[in-house]
Amino acid sequence: MKIKIAAALIALTGATLGLSGSANAAVGVAFDFGNVTLGYSDGYYDRDHRWHRWAHRADMQRWQHEHADMYHEWRHNDRHHHDDR
C-alpha cells in the first residue's frame, strides 16, 4: 500500500513540475521596425503618420543605429528644428 501511495505522489509531483516549466517560459515581443518611417529621441511616426513613443530605449537605439539617415536626435516637437516657412 505504501509503495502505491509513494508511486502516486511521485507521479503527481512529476506532472506538476512538468506543467510549471511551460508556465514559466519567457514570452518575447518583437518590435516591428518596418512600421517606423521617421524617428526622434522621444518617439517615432509610423507609415500612417501616427505618433508613438518608444516602448523601450533599446528599440530606439537599435532603430537609430540601423536608420541613421531617418533618425533625429531631438524631440519631435522641438521648435528649433521645424521649418517655419
Q: What is the pLDDT along the chain (85 residues), one digit of tens a residue?
A: 666 665 665 665 554 445 444 455 555 555 566 688 899 999 999 999 999 999 999 999 998 999 999 999 988 888 877 654 3
Backbone torsions φ then ψ of 69, nearest 5 degrees: -70, -15
Q: Give the pLDDT confidence score for residue 12 in this predicted structure.
A: 56
Per-residue model confidence (pLDDT) at position 10? 64
Beta strands in the chain (DSSP E): 36-40, 43-46, 51-52, 71-72
Domain boundary assignment for the chain: 33-81
Q: What is the pLDDT of residue 85?
A: 37
Characterize 38-62 residue by residue with b for buried, 16 or more Cβ atoms within 10 angstroms of its Cβ, and e for exposed.
ebbeebbbeeeeeeeebeeeebbee
